[in-house]
Every structure is written in structure tokens, then in C-alpha cells.
Structure 1
Amino acid sequence: MQVQWWSIIPFVVLLLCIAVLPLVRATAHTWEKNQVKLAVALVLGLPVATWFIIAGAGAEVAHAMVEYAQFIILLLALFVVSGGIFLSGDIRATPRNNTIFLAIGGAIASFIGTTGAAMLLIRPLLNTNSERRIKAHTVVFTIFIVANCGGVLTPLGDPPLFLGMLRGVPFEWTFNLFFEWLFVNSLLLITYHALDRHAYSQESPSAIAADDSHRAPLGLRGAVNLVFFAMIIVAVAFLPSLDLHAIETGHATLQQWIPWREIVMLSAAAASYFLGDKVARFELNKFSWTPILEVAALFVGIFLTMIPALNFLGQVAGSLPINRVVLFLFTGGISGVLDNAPTYATFFEIAAQLPGDPRVAGVPEELLVAVSLGAVFGGALTYIGNGPNFMVKSVADSAGVQTPSFGRYIMLSFTFLVPVLAAMVLIFLTDGWLWRGLGIAVAAAIVGRAVWIMARTRPRETVN
């Protein structure tokens, strides 16, 4: 369906509500209520859906709502199962230990999903740092590394890559992105370690003493939920969902009408909730439905209002001089303000129309690399770029951490994440040693900044 530029106004208004209303004193308290978020999302989204249905494009609305349901069910299942696992004990909240936490999260994100890894680690990470006053940066880098950049190695890691697998990209193909994954996450971990050393040096002696005195060996409660995690992973990797194409053409069998994947994921979530360790879930993790309800409320509006936005993007994309770098920039930049899964699908289809060999699933491989990296890494640019981002923020808010506002988070992502991505693009997605040399210089500057921050840090005897 052809659309005009003004059709993206509801989407822009929704973004402005998310960014501005929490900052305005008159609306901040009201915006905290998930009912208000849902009302705003529906007021902006339902007219768009009605317009498309009346115009004969109801199939696009149906596709958006099916993808929304699949998206929320996956997040819900991982949220519920991870909420039943509690990493007991209390280790020292030193920069070294915090960096190890994030490194582990970045390593497992590709195999249990960025949502699962983020929800599994954010609570013990916050518990470990409960005595520390300065910890908002830890939440931000958890979103950067665990909720996004760590998930690039398999289709299980991030929803965009799962959509690629459904479109014919081989499961193992994403392992080819290992060096980009290692490069980006290594620079982010180096940067985080430097920032956390500086923050640690600013903590009061009483906070450090409290952290040192409250120590206990690590242990795991709710281990049965690892079985339910395995159920979700198997469902995502091997089970089919609704076959919308067959349904729309009228040739769907009974099997193609049944969302087997979502049924298994919901069953795993229900079993975890009702059969799991209640103490681990409700007393230790202080489990609450608020984070997932917040994501569900906001993203129903995002999925509806972005229908014309994606259509408009598809209309103008053909006039752009597309190469690897341009495709990465557009996919990554738009993934930061739209959800990265449908953004990936849009640019996947655009890239499939372009010439180039060799091809993977009908897409020139070098362009598929750019789309995949852009969607996954770009999802970390804002709170709404990827579903787990808001969930991590909501869990941290519930724990009393003063997380950055929408605008402040974007400033931090441009300060610490964008330079890393720029270095990655110059080294891995450009041709010629001049550009690659510039990328190496940018990477060296990032490491140099980290060294400079640590050199300026006042020594503390307990820093590790």
C-alpha cells in the first residue's frame, strides 16, 4: 500500500510520548501507569489499523499483530522462566566481577536469547551491586552487551536473526559474524570496566565496607527452570508457528493453523510459574508482572504505528545508493527507533532485490551481513530498539535504580556505543586499507579513552 510522509506522524508522536512524558513533572507520575501507556498506544495505533483495513490492506495489520503476538509470547516465556531462577550469594561488587557478569551475559545471549540472558543476569547483577550508589551505567551496559550485542551468533540470540532463519538463512550462517561479535563486545567490556573502576573509586567508604561485609558463596535456586529454558530454545529452533502465507492463499492445512512454537513456549512458562521454586521467584527475585506488561502496552502501539512507517521506508529505499555501509546505517539507525525485527525483515526484502554474489537465502551475502549486524547492534541505540531493553530498565527501576531517561540513554549510546559500531563498520564492512586504518585508529582511541579514565581514577585498595 502506498503511503505519504504524514502517515508516520502517529509513530513519531508515540516516540515523543515515550521520550518526553516521563520528564515532565505534570505527566511523569501518570505515565508510570501501564494503563496510561496502553491507552496512548491504542489511541495512536488503532486509527492506523482501521485506515489500513478500510483501504484493503488488512493483511498488513494481521501480519503486524501476528508478529506482535509472537514477539510478546517469546518475551513473556523467557521473562517468566528467568524470573524463577535466582543466583544466590553475594560477591563483591568490584569492577572485575561486574565485567565478568557482563562478559558471561554477552557469551550466553546468542544461545538462550538476549531476553533470557538479560532477565537471568540483571537481578543478580543488581543484587550484587545493591550496596553501591553509582550503578546506572551498569544497567546501560547490560542493555548494550547482554540485551543486544551479545545475541548476534545464532538465530536464537535475537528476533531479527530468527526471522532470517524463517526466510531461509541457514542456522549456522550467523557463526560467520563471530569476529564482529567479538570486536564489538570486547570494546564495550573494556569501556565498561574503565567506567566502573572510576565509579567504584567514587563510592563512599561505608558503601564499600557494607559490600565487603555482605558476602556469601554463589549458588543456584530454581534450577528446574533450566529445563523450561531448554523447551523454549527447542521450540524456537525447531517448531513451526502459524503459516500466514498458506492461510492467506487458502491452502493451509490444520497443522499450519496451529502455532506449535507459541504453545510450547507458553506451556514452559506456565510450568515454570506454577511448578517452580516459589521462594526464588517471589521472595528472592521479587517477581512482578510490571516489566512485561509495560513492554506489551507500548509495543502494541509501536507495531501498529510503524506499519505505514515501514511502508514509506520501502517506497523511498529504491532511490538510495545502497551498499554495505549504507545498508548497515539504515538498518541500524531505524532499528533504534523501530523494533529491530520488522526493520530487519524490511531491509532483508530490499536487499534481496539487489544484485550480487554469492547469495544466501536469495540475498547477496555481503548485504545480509550488513542487515544482520545493523538490526542486532542498532537495537541497542534506544530503549525501544529491542524488547529486552525496556524490560531491563523496568526491572532496574523496580529495584530503585535511577536509570537514565529516554533522551539521556540515547546520549550515552552515542557516546559509548556508536564509536564502537563506527570502528566495526570501518574495519569489517569497508574495502581498502585507508578506511580500515581509520577504523583501527577509532578502536585505538576507544581503548585509549578507557586507559585515560582509569589513569584519572583515584586508587582504592579494594579495587580489583
Structure 2
Amino acid sequence: MKKLLTGLSAFLLFSPLHVFAADGALSDTALGTTLPLWSCIPFAGMLLSIAIFPLIKEEWWEKHKPWVVAFWSLLFLIPFAVIFGGHIALEHLIEVTLGDYLTFIVLLFGLFCVAGNISLQGDLTGNPKVNVVLLLIGTLLSSWIGTTGASMLMIRPIIRANKWRQRKVQIMVFFIFLISNIGGCLTPVGDPPLLMGFMNGVGFFWSLNLLPVMLLNVLILLTLFFLIDTKAYKKDIADGFKPEIRPESERVKLHLDGAHNIAFMLIIVAAVILSGVLPTTFPVFSEGLTIMGVTLSYASIIEIIMILASAYLSFKTTKKEIRDSNHFTWDAIEEVAILFIGIFITMIPALLILKARGADLGLTQPWQFFWITGALSSFLDNTPTYLVFFTTAASLGFTSGVQTLTSFIPKAVLMAISCGAVFMGANTYIGNAPNFMVRSIAEENGIKMPSFFGYMFWSLSCLIPVFLIDMLIFFL
């Protein structure tokens, strides 16, 4: 594998000069129109590797994961450079790493660090009622501190409360459904697609229009979870698994250790908001560091500095014992960083094709936007997917609805695009970054999570019926 990657890298670096002299002005639309569908094979290979290798060669996968990511990335980049020119390939590589991946991973890293320094302690016994309350609290937090922030804040308390349970996979699966995805639909802070809508003229509080859809979904899913968890709970009790019951004098009241880190989490949320507000309010902040035509804006640089400073100060001001009580390790963020750089790179052709041909899909009805946005957001980054169909809807010539920077979009259509992008990220582990982080942290704590396809069985059986109800009530 290493020899193959070395050869591929050398081929890319020492390609003939005419390759690098290709026309750098070729537009994304022209690229997307030209690219064949088979250019998405590396992306499919990346997804299949994530799905299959942990099942058939788990130890090999854990050891060679970075090389597999590099292989699929180069398998796309090298033919792309040969056909369109090394300059264009390098430009798109810089765009996806500097323009998209950098801010993405810095935000995840910051929230992961700060949340790892907050520990909910006390006698909290995991049972169906307690779990429903914890899931509801996390779901409500997601719109205000982001799905990643809420996931990292709530995952360890829920694991700790249910550590005595034998059957607890359903808790983690519904955690991903609700806290890592659906709960983030009410504000632009909740999920990046909604932030993109805000930056394109949609009002900050417009997303509250999604509240009825969210409430319906949360009600159905929490009811379903309660029934499943109650059945599992009774089996645990019958098998002799029981929570530790300590004497009254030894019980510990619920309290937060490292509570001052909530301030650092709020600073990170403020940084995300500023990154969206500054460029539209003060255009100078949209300028910045430019490399080969790709600009890392001053607003993004400020966001990165604020997040990294918050993470650093969080570690400096928090006792190591708090992280130890959370069983804090770097494994989860390391896995996400490795896998998602490969996902971001290999999905370049899929996004280019979608951007160029999205308007040709003949979408006119809200339910069509709901399902196509959601289906693609299940496997692609939901932020560019949202923008593609946001732009598509804005180009259809509507004369009334929600006012954006360029045109109108009917309320039902924008609701459908927003719900599809946010909700259906829950359909797969890769649909939203917190999904993978929750899975990794759960497995670190001894919870055997479903495989990639095993998780999709849960989502297809539990989520798709709910989304069909959404369509029938809100989008037809």
C-alpha cells in the first residue's frame, strides 16, 4: 500500500509540465458538466471502505486507515490532474482543505476539547424515563450550541448514567437521530446549512418556522425510543443487571465539574455566528489570505483563532481529573479528522456534478426538494448540498415567499430544503460529523455500535417512516 501511494504521489508531483499549464479559468459549472459519473468511484470506494473494512478486517483497518484514505484521495486527484490540469486539481484541493475542511475540523476540535472538560457528576441512574429526559435536553440544546456542541456535552453523561446497562445501543442510535441532527434545525447556530442560509439573506430566526416539524419528529422518535428502551431495560433487569444503589449518606447530588467551560463553549458559538455576520455586515472581512485563488477570509481566521484559544484556555484552566472522569482520549477526533479529509476530497466530483446539473433535475415541489436534499445530505456534506438546492430554488423565478439576497423562495420549499439537509444527516454515520464522533466515543466506552449498514437499518426502519409523515403533513 505504501509503495503504491508513493508511486501515485510521484506521478502527481512530476506530471508533464503541460498538465500544470492547463486552463486555470475553467469554471466549476464547466467541470461539473464535463465530469463523468465514474469520477465518483473514489468517493464510493471511500464510503465502502468505512462500511466494510471494520467488519471484515477490523485490526487492519485501525492500523492502515490513513493509507486507505490517502489511496482513495489520490485515485481521484491524479486522473483529475491528468485530464484537467495539475493547476485546477491543486486549486480544488486547496479549496476543499483550506476553504472547507480547515474550519470544519477546527470547530469540531474546539467543541470536542471544551466539552471533554465538562463532567456531569452525581447519582443519575439510566432508565427509560431518565434517558428520554436527557435526550430531550440535548435535543433542545442542539439549536443553540450546535449539534456538535450538544453531542459532545451530553454524550458522556448519558453513557455514565447507563454504564450498568447491558443493552444500550438504542440509546446511542437515538442520541444521533435527535441530538446530533434533528435538534439543530431551529437556528443558524444549530447546523452549518442553516448558517449558509443566514449568510444568503434568510433571517436569523426564520428557522423557527421549522419548530412544528421538529416537535412532531421529536415526539414520534422519543415515543418510539421509550418503547424500545423499556423493552431492553426489562430484559436487563431480568438478566440480573441492576444499577448500584448507594446509601443515602454516600449519594452525590448532580453537579457540573468544569462548569466554567460553558463560557468557552459560548465563545465558540459566538465565533461561528461572527464568521457568518462579519462578511455580510463589513465586506472587508470577506477578504483574507489567498492561495491560488482560494481565500481564507479574515472572518474565518478570527473564528479559528477564537476557537483554538478557547480550547487552549479550557485545557489550561481545567483539572486533569475532570478529563479522566470523562475517560477523555483523542481517538474520536483523530478518527473524524482522518476519515473526513478523505471524504471531503473524494466528494469533489460529486459536488461539482451536482452544482452543474442540479437545476436540470426538474424540481418544483417542496416534497421533491425535501427528498433530494435529504438523500444527498445523507452521504455528501449537507452544507454544499443545501446551497445547491437553495440556489436552484432561488433561480426558479418565484415572485413571493422568503426574501433572500438574490430572489424569493417559497416558504414551504425553503422549509423542505432545510429539513432535508438537517434531518437526513442522521441517515448514515457520515451524514453529519457528530454522528461519527458519538460512535467513536461510545465504542471507547465499551458500547458495541452497529456497523455502517447496521446503523442504516436503524435509520431506514425508524427515520424514513417519520420523514414520510413529514412529507404528507408539511411538504405536499
TM-score computed with the length of structure 1 as normaliser: 0.86
Q: Does the CA contact (< 8 Å) of 2:91 and 2:292 recur in 1?
A: no
Q: Does the CA contact (< 8 Å) of 1:231 and 1:265 recur in 2?
A: yes
C-alpha distance in structure 2 between counterparts of 1:307 and 1:113, whole Å: 25
Q: Does the CA contact (< 8 Å) of 1:91 and 1:216 recur in 2?
A: no
The CA deviation string for residues 175-228 of structure 1, in whole angstroms up to 9 with x for no partner, is 111111111111111110111111111114575533445964211100110110
C-alpha distance in structure 1 between counterparts of 2:355 and 2:375, whole Å: 15
> Comparing 365-374 with 81-90, which one deviates more in the overlay?
365-374
Q: Does the CA contact (< 8 Å) of 2:274 and 2:299 recur in 1?
A: no
The answer to whether the aligner puts 1:146 opposite 2:187 as a matched pair is: no
- SS for the counterpart of 2:189 is coil
Q: What amino acid does structure 2 have at the position aligned with 1:30? A: W
Q: 1:248 to 1:38 in 2, by over 3 A?
A: closer
C-alpha distance in structure 1 between counterparts of 2:325 and 2:421, whole Å: 35
Match for residue 59 of structure 2?
29
The answer to whether the aligner puts 1:64 opposite 2:96 as a matched pair is: yes
Q: What amino acid does structure 2 have at the position aligned with 1:94? A: N
The CA deviation string for residues 354-408 of structure 1, in whole angstroms up to 9 with x for no partner, is 2222243235133221111111001000000000000000000000001111000
Counterpart selection for 1:223 from 230, 250, 259: 259
Residue 58 of structure 1 and its aligned partner are, at CA, apart by 4.5
Q: Does the CA contact (< 8 Å) of 2:336 and 2:433 recur in 1?
A: yes
Q: 1:251 to 1:85 in 2, by over 3 A?
A: closer
- SS for the counterpart of 1:341 is helix
Counterpart selection for 2:357 from 309, 316, 324: 316
C-alpha distance in structure 1 between counterparts of 2:159 and 2:61, whole Å: 24
The answer to whether the aligner puts 1:375 opposite 2:403 as a matched pair is: no
The answer to whether the aligner puts 1:183 opposite 2:213 as a matched pair is: no
Q: Does the CA contact (< 8 Å) of 2:289 and 2:297 recur in 1?
A: no
Q: Does the CA contact (< 8 Å) of 2:143 and 2:185 recur in 1?
A: yes
Residue 248 of structure 1 and its aligned partner are, at CA, apart by 8.1
Q: 1:429 to 1:248 in 2, by over 3 A?
A: farther
The answer to whether the aligner puts 1:307 opposite 2:348 as a matched pair is: yes
Q: Does the CA contact (< 8 Å) of 2:120 and 2:257 recur in 1?
A: yes
Match for residue 374 of structure 2?
332
- SS for the counterpart of 1:416 is helix
Q: What amino acid does structure 1 have at the position aligned with 2:360? A: S
- SS for the counterpart of 2:461 is helix
Total equivalences in the alignment: 424
The answer to whether the aligner puts 1:192 opposite 2:225 as a matched pair is: yes
C-alpha distance in structure 1 between counterparts of 2:378 and 2:436, whole Å: 13
Match for residue 128 of structure 2?
95
Q: Does the CA contact (< 8 Å) of 2:288 and 2:298 recur in 1?
A: no
Q: Does the CA contact (< 8 Å) of 1:335 and 1:375 recur in 2?
A: yes
Counterpart selection for 1:42 from 58, 70, 77: 70
Match for residue 433 of structure 1?
none
TM-score computed with the length of structure 2 as normaliser: 0.84
**Unmatched segments (≥5 aa) in structure 2:** 1-30, 280-284
Counterpart selection for 2:51 from 6, 14, 19: 19
Residue 39 of structure 1 and its aligned partner are, at CA, apart by 1.9
Match for residue 443 of structure 1?
none
C-alpha distance in structure 2 between counterparts of 1:270 and 1:246, whole Å: 24
Match for residue 435 of structure 1?
none
- SS for the counterpart of 1:423 is helix
Q: Does the CA contact (< 8 Å) of 2:166 and 2:241 recur in 1?
A: no
The answer to whether the aligner puts 1:292 opposite 2:349 as a matched pair is: no
Match for residue 456 of structure 2?
410
C-alpha distance in structure 2 between counterparts of 1:355 and 1:19, whole Å: 41
Match for residue 268 of structure 2?
232
Match for residue 445 of structure 1?
none
Q: 1:310 to 1:411 in 2, by over 3 A?
A: same
C-alpha distance in structure 2 between counterparts of 1:258 and 1:379, whole Å: 24
Match for residue 315 of structure 2?
273
Q: 1:426 to 1:60 in 2, by over 3 A?
A: farther
Q: What amino acid does structure 2 have at the position aligned with 1:44? A: W
> Comparing 308-317 with 385-394, which one deviates more in the overlay?
308-317
Residue 286 of structure 1 and its aligned partner are, at CA, apart by 1.3
Q: What amino acid does structure 1 have at the position aligned with 2:60? A: T
Q: 1:207 to 1:396 in 2, by over 3 A?
A: farther
The answer to whether the aligner puts 1:119 opposite 2:161 as a matched pair is: no
> Comparing 332-341 with 122-131, which one deviates more in the overlay?
332-341
The answer to whether the aligner puts 1:345 opposite 2:387 as a matched pair is: yes
Residue 255 of structure 1 and its aligned partner are, at CA, apart by 7.5
Identity %: 39
Residue 244 of structure 1 and its aligned partner are, at CA, apart by 6.6
> Comparing 40-49 with 326-335, which one deviates more in the overlay?
40-49
C-alpha distance in structure 1 between counterparts of 2:379 and 2:300, whole Å: 32
